[in-house]
Amino acid sequence: MLYLVGLGLSNEKDITVAGLEIVKKCARVYLEAYTSILMIDKAKLEEFYGREVIIADREMVESSSDEILSGAGSTDVAFLVVGDPFGATTHTDLLLRARELAIPFRTIHNASIMNAIGACGLQLYNFGQTVSMVFFTENWRPASFYDRIKENRDVGLHTLVLLDIKVKEQSLENMARGRRVYEPPRYMTVAQCAQQMLEIEEEKGEAAYSPTTLAIGVSRLGSEDQQFVAGTLKQLSEADLGPPLHSLVLLGKRVHELEIDYIRPFAVDVEEFNRAYELEHGKKAA
């Protein structure tokens, strides 16, 4: 059987008991390592699991899935995913391939950014569409996220913004020349995300949000040193939330006063936070 096992958000101990039992019995164990990362080295996983862990990068998962599925019809193979296998990203392509080969599969779920983001103090029922923010380049500035955020804001809902990571990526020159030379890993910060959002608003001018729109920067969610910083997009574009991984939540118009009470202690500047709340939401801060 092929097992898709969610690892949770932080370290080797976030795996569920059911997931750990499966990993220990599998003939091969793969770790998907391009849509997200754990905050520990692979060696710690191997020590805790008592098993070798094979890194499955984008190239292997997208181009060499047969290697992962080889023998999975007669023995057990585990495919480990940071968070939940169907949380911030899905691996239905791998399961479709398994189905074509008549390989049975099972999913072991775990916490993901999609539900753990509630720790920032905003109610999950008040979230709209989740969007992704990629690194801009000189010639590529995709802005599809903007329309989704505007749709959320138009009905008053919060927006979770997932930030880009670049792991084992090639430059265009190395790709063109067929050289297997990879760029150093890069992880987008809250400040970079907020700055890119403000740049696109300036270009679009449709008032999906503004420099005074309140947001929450989140870093290392699920870890012992997780951090929340609340402020305007302008403030967050200058904030330092430390090491990765980062994400950002844009507050919706229907934010509840209890939500505001919870996140106010995270504010960069409480007085500025209260002024922005009154400006954006037309309510006097408590």
For residue 78, the model assigns a pLDDT of 97
* Complete edge-to-edge strand list for the sheet that includes strand 227-232: 131-133, 159-163, 246-250, 214-219, 227-232
CA distances to 9, 134, 208, 254, 255 from 197, rounded to whole Å, are 26, 11, 10, 21, 20
For residue 44, the model assigns a pLDDT of 93
Q: How far apart are CA 270 and CA 248, in angstroms?
A: 19
Binding region for S-adenosyl-L-methionine: 9, 84, 87, 112-113, 163, 221, 246
Q: How far apart are CA 250 and CA 120, in angstroms?
A: 12
Supply 165's token pair. Answer: 């990571």
Q: Enumerate helices (H) and strands (E) in the chain, giving the number of each.
A: 12, 12
Q: What is the pTM of this model?
A: 0.91
Please name the residues in contact with 184: beta carbons below 8 A apart, sequence gap of 6 or more. Answer: none
Please name the residues in contact with 121: beta carbons below 8 A apart, sequence gap of 6 or more. Answer: 216, 228, 259, 262, 263, 266
CA distances to 188, 190, 241, 258 from 228, rounded to whole Å, are 16, 11, 8, 17
Topology alike, domains 2-111 and 114-282: no
For residue 174, the model assigns a pLDDT of 60
Binding region: 9, 84, 87, 112-113, 163, 221, 246
Please name the residues in contact with 231: beta carbons below 8 A apart, sequence gap of 6 or more. Answer: 214, 215, 217, 239, 267, 268, 269, 272, 273, 276
Q: State the fold for domain 114-282.
A: 3.30.950
Distance of CA 168 to the CA centre of its chain: 17
Phi and psi torsions of 131, nearest 5°: -125, 165
For residue 63, the model assigns a pLDDT of 73
Please name the residues in contact with 258: beta carbons below 8 A apart, sequence gap of 6 or more. Answer: none
Domain boundaries, the chain: 2-111, 114-282
Contact predicate 148/244, CB 8 Å: no
Q: How far apart are CA 165 and CA 189, in angstroms?
A: 10
Q: How far apart are CA 232 and CA 215, in angstroms?
A: 6
Per-residue pLDDT of the chain (286 residues; tens, 9 = 90+): 999 999 999 899 999 999 999 999 999 999 988 778 887 888 999 999 999 999 988 778 777 788 899 999 999 999 999 999 998 677 888 899 999 999 999 999 999 999 999 999 999 999 999 999 999 988 899 999 999 999 999 999 999 999 998 876 656 666 666 666 667 789 999 999 999 999 999 999 999 999 999 999 999 999 999 999 999 999 999 999 999 999 999 999 999 999 999 999 999 999 999 999 999 887 776 6
Domain boundaries 2-111, CATH class: alpha beta
- Residue 55's nearest CA partner among 165, 134, 166, 168 is 168
Please name the residues in contact with 276: beta carbons below 8 A apart, sequence gap of 6 or more. Answer: 212, 213, 214, 231, 232
